[in-house]
Amino acid sequence: NAGVTQTPKFQVLKTGQSMTLQCAQDMNHNSMYWYRQDPGMGLRLIYYSASEGTTDKGEVPNGYNVSRLNKREFSLRLESAAPSQTSVYFCASSDDRNQPQHFGDGTRLSIL
C-alpha cells in the first residue's frame, strides 16, 4: 500500500541550484497535484495535472515547472532555487477534482 511516494524526503540547496522533486502514485488516479506548505499558511497549489498529458498553473506557479511523465508520475522542477522557495512540498493524487486527495509525506526543502 505505497499510495503516493515522494523523493527525496529532505534536500538542502544553494541559491541558484536546480533540482527536481519526484512523485509517483500507484492508485491509478487521473489527477495529480503539487502543493507547498509554509508556517502559518494553508497549503497552496503550485501546479496540477487533471489527467495524463495535461498540466495547469495553480495559485503560486512562479519559479516552478512540472512534467506529467505518465499516469503514475508527476515531477516538480525548480530551475534556479531561491530562499523564498524554502518550504515543505506535498504531492497528491485523486480520481478527479471532486474526490478526496491522497497526499505523500512531503519533501522538506531548504535553500540557503
Return the beta strands (E) in 14-106 as ranges.
19-25, 31-37, 44-49, 56-57, 64-68, 74-78, 87-94, 102-103
> Can you tell me which of 34, 48, 64, 74 binds another protein, judged by CB under 8 A?
48
Specify the residue, 51 or 84, whose C-beta has the smaller distance to another protein.
Answer: 51
- C-alpha angle 88/27/86, rounded to 5°? 10
Residue 44 is a binding residue for another protein (CB under 8 A) = yes
> Can you tell me which of 1, 14, 42, 62 binds another protein, judged by CB under 8 A?
42
Residues forming contacts to another protein in the complex (CB under 8 A) are: 4, 31, 33, 40-45, 48, 50, 56, 58, 90, 92, 97-106
